[in-house]
């Protein structure tokens, strides 16, 4: 008889957003006329920029024309997009060759698929609070997880230490959910640690486009030594509104070698075996993001989310609530007032002011007592949510 992968039974009972959806449904069933203000789930609300839409339309027309039609694309990505992304890194002073760039269907897909590169005996170190998929993907693969908690005392950016070592190290910067961003100095310590121990860092840069402080690194490869210990996973989801369109890219340096095997070569082999490449149309749309006009248009959209962040953080300031994030990241991470637990605060906001956020506990045990707001909502909803927060939580 077929034996299923029993590690699925080790997953915690369900995914965070499933619980939230269930609570919202119950509230709506009881209050059918209530309007909710969703500051929770991390999906964008603005459409794709015009430069991308134009490129997608053109690519659709190519597919209707015998002379311009494209069939299967090269599995690691179309050369035009790999070259465009390598040139984008170069503009930032990071030397990455097109062969080190892999086009993906998004960071989430890639973070799961990449685990094929690593032995099951490897341990995975997850700095928490963390994007829940890091833990779940490794539980499914049967790996041991080392949970490294972070907190206000280290600005949610913990340092490595030998007792909490692992062969795989997840670093998400800017971080979901805390909004914390690794400085060069702090990232350097992890790079040195990984090189010293032969570990590989999976650097999730899904939110790099939100960094505004010039001193903060957008890419781990801005730092020396990263090419021998890191893989960078990027996404156009939050950078350019591709959450429903799906496109991302991953950098695997040629210099990343373990036990005599090149992880770049292994990934080429993996992609040629397990995929037939990302759609030509989407890759054309993705390339438009990196044009001057595309960059200008994505900045306009990001500015809308940044303004939402400003509206929400001003409201929190008025309420005297402690928080971080919102400046170099689209998430605001706050300490629940009056020592409330994360889910208690979730229920309180939902029931009292119909504002929906995300309980911190869903991102790891050390997230208990914290709460995440996303800044991806509509400006009008965000402003109303901010007004309601002030009304409910302002002291005196
Ligand atoms: N990584 C982090 C930290 C995220 O928060 C998300 C999505 O919310 C992803 C990856 C997934 O991005 P994608 O839409 O490219 O799959």
pLDDT for the residue 13: 64
Domain boundary among 238, 256, 291: 291
Q: Do 54 and 36 share a structural domain?
A: no
Question: What is the Å distance from ligand 1's center to 246 Cα?
Answer: 11
- Does some domain include residue 261? yes
In this structure, the answer to whether residues 174 and 122 fall within a common structural domain is yes
Q: How far is the CA of 245 from the centre of ligand 1 (A)?
A: 13
Q: CATH number for the domain including 129?
A: 3.40.640.10
**Number of Cβ within a 10 Å radius of residue 157:** 19
- 212 and 269 inside one domain: yes
- Separation in Å, CA 157 to CA 42, 183, 187, 374: 21, 9, 9, 20
Distance 318 CA to ligand 1 centre (A): 31
Report pTM.
0.97
Check whether residue 298 and residue 370 sit in a common domain.
Answer: yes
Assess if residue 1 is contained within a domain: no
Distance linking the first and last C-alpha atoms of the chain: 67
Q: Whole-angstrom Cα distance, residue 183 to residue 313? A: 22
Same domain, 128 and 118: yes
Which ligand 1 atom sits closest to the C-alpha of 175?
3
Instruction: State the Cα–Cα distance between residues 281 and 2, nearest whole angstrom.
Output: 39
Residue by residue, pLDDT tens for the chain (396 residues) are 999 999 999 988 666 778 899 999 999 999 999 999 999 878 999 999 999 999 999 999 999 999 999 999 999 999 999 999 999 999 999 999 999 999 999 999 999 999 999 999 999 999 999 999 999 999 999 999 999 999 999 999 999 988 888 999 999 999 999 999 999 999 999 999 999 999 999 999 999 999 999 999 999 999 999 999 999 999 999 999 999 999 999 999 999 999 999 999 999 999 999 999 999 999 999 999 999 999 999 999 999 999 999 999 999 999 999 999 999 999 999 999 999 999 999 999 999 999 999 999 999 999 999 999 999 999 999 999 999 999 999 986
Cis peptide before 174, with omega less than 30 degrees from 0?
A: yes
- The helix/strand count (H/E) of the chain reads as 12, 15
| 318 & 359 share domain | yes
* Residue 289 CA, ligand 1 centroid: distance in Å: 18
Closest residue to atom 5 of ligand 1, CA basis: 176
222 with 321, same domain? Answer: no
Nearest-atom number in ligand 1 for the CA of 104 is 15
Three-state secondary structure call for residue 358: strand
Task: Please tell me whether residues 185 and 307 are part of one structural domain.
Answer: no
Say how many Å lie between the CA of residue 41 and the centre of ligand 1. Answer: 11
Does residue 82 contact residue 319 with C-beta atoms inside 8 Å?
A: no
Q: Hey, which of 107, 156, 175, 286 would you mutate to test ligand 1's pocket, going by the most ligand atoms within 8 Å of its Cβ?
A: 107
For residue 365, how many other CB atoms are within 10 A of its CB? 11
- Residues 6 or more apart whose Cβ sits within 8 Å of residue 260: none
Domain boundary among 291, 319, 342: 291
Burial of 180 (0-12, 13-18, 19+ CB in 10 A): buried
One domain, residues 77 and 120: yes
pLDDT at 14: 61
Please give the number of the atom of ligand 1 that sits closest to the Cα of 110: 16
Strand, helix or coil for residue 192? helix
What tokens does 23 get? 């609570």
For ligand 1, the distance from its centroid to the CA atom of residue 64, given in whole angstroms, is 32
* Total number of domains constituting the chain: 2
Cα of 375 from ligand 1 centre, angstroms: 15
Nearest to residue 367, comparing CAs of 357, 375, 359, 378? 359
Residue 319: give its domain's CATH number.
3.90.1150.10
Lining ligand 1 with CB less than 6 A are 42, 106-108, 131, 172, 176, 204, 206, 235, 237, 243, 248
Residue of 104, 174, 237 to mutate, ligand 1, most atoms within 8 A of C-beta: 237
Q: Is 232 in the same domain as 329?
A: no
- Please state the atom number of ligand 1 nearest to the C-alpha of residue 236: 15
Question: How far lies 390's CA from each of 263, 271, 332, in Å?
Answer: 51, 50, 16
> Distance between CA atoms of 95 and 254, rounded to whole angstroms?
12
Domain end residue (candidates: 250, 274, 291) = 291
Q: Are residues 149 and 207 in the same domain?
A: yes
Question: Residues near 272 by Cβ (< 8 Å), separated by ≥ 6?
Answer: 75, 76
How far is Cα 43 from Cα 332, in angstroms, rounded to an integer? 15
Residue 15: exposed, middle, or buried by beta-carbon count in 10 A (0-12, 13-18, 19+)?
A: middle
Between the CA of 268 and the centroid of ligand 1 the distance, in Å, is 22
Nearest atom in ligand 1 to the alpha carbon of residue 111 is: 10
59 is a domain residue? yes
Query: Which residue minimizes the CA distance to atom 16 of ligand 1?
Result: 108
Among the listed residues 255, 266, 252, 262, the one whose alpha carbon sits nearest the alpha carbon of residue 82 = 252
CB 48 within 8 A of CB 177: no
Q: Residue 395 Cα, ligand 1 centroid: separation in angstroms?
A: 36
| Nearest protein CA to atom 1 of ligand 1, as residue | 206
Nearest ligand 1 atom to the CA of 242 is 14
Rounded to the nearest angstrom, the distance between the alpha carbon of 380 and the centre of ligand 1 is 25
Tell whether 314 is covered by a domain. Answer: yes
CA 270-273-277 angle, to 5 degrees, is 90
Helices 379-393 & 342-353 angle (0-180, nearest 10): 100
Task: Give the domain range for residue 44.
Answer: 6-48+294-393
Q: Whose CA is nearest to atom 8 of ligand 1?
A: 42
Q: What is the pLDDT of residue 162?
A: 83
In this prediction, residue 355 carries a pLDDT of 98
Residues 86 and 117 in one domain: yes
């Amino acid at each position: 008889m077929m034996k299923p992968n029993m590690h699925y039974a080790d997953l915690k009972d369900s995914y965070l957003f499933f619980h939230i959806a269930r609570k919202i449904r119950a509230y709506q069933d009881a209050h059918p006329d209530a309007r909710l203000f969703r500051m929770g789930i991390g999906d964008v609300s603005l459409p794709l920029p015009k430069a991308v839409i134009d490129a997608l339309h053109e690519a659709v027309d190519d597919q209707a024309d015998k002379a311009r039609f494209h069939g299967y694309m090269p599995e690691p990505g179309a050369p035009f997009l790999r070259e465009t992304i390598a040139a984008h890194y170069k503009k930032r002073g990071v030397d990455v060759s097109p062969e080190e760039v892999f086009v993906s269907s998004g960071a989430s897909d890639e973070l799961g698929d990449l685990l094929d590169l690593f032995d099951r005996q490897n341990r995975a170190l997850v700095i928490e609070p963390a994007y829940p998929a890091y833990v779940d993907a490794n539980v499914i693969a049967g790996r041991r997880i080392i949970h490294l908690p972070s907190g206000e005392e280290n600005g949610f950016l913990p340092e490595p230490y030998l007792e909490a070592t692992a062969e795989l190290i997840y670093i998400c910067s800017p971080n979901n959910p805390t909004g914390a961003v690794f400085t060069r100095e702090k990232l350097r310590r992890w790079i040195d640690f990984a090189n010293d121990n032969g570990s590989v860092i999976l650097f999730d840069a899904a939110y790099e486009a939100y960094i505004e402080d010039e001193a903060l690194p957008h890419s781990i490869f801005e730092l020396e030594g990263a090419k021998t210990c890191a893989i960078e996973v990027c996404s156009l989801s939050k950078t350019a509104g591709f959450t429903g369109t799906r496109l991302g890219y991953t950098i695997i340096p040629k210099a990343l070698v373990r036990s005599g095997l090149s992880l770049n070569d292994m990934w080429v082999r993996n992609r040629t075996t397990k995929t037939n490449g990302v759609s030509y149309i989407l890759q054309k749309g993705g390339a438009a993001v990196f044009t001057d006009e595309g960059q200008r248009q994505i900045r306009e959209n990001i500015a809308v989310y940044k303004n939402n962040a400003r509206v929400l953080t001003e409201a929190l300031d008025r309420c005297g609530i402690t928080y971080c994030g919102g400046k170099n990241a689209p998430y605001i991470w706050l300490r629940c007032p009056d020592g409330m637990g994360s889910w208690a605060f979730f229920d309180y906001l939902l029931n009292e002011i119909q504002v929906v956020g995300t309980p911190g506990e869903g991102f790891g045990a050390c997230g208990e007592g914290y709460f995440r707001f996303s800044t991806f909502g509509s400006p009008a909803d965000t402003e109303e949510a901010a007004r309601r927060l002030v009304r409910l939580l302002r002291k005196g």
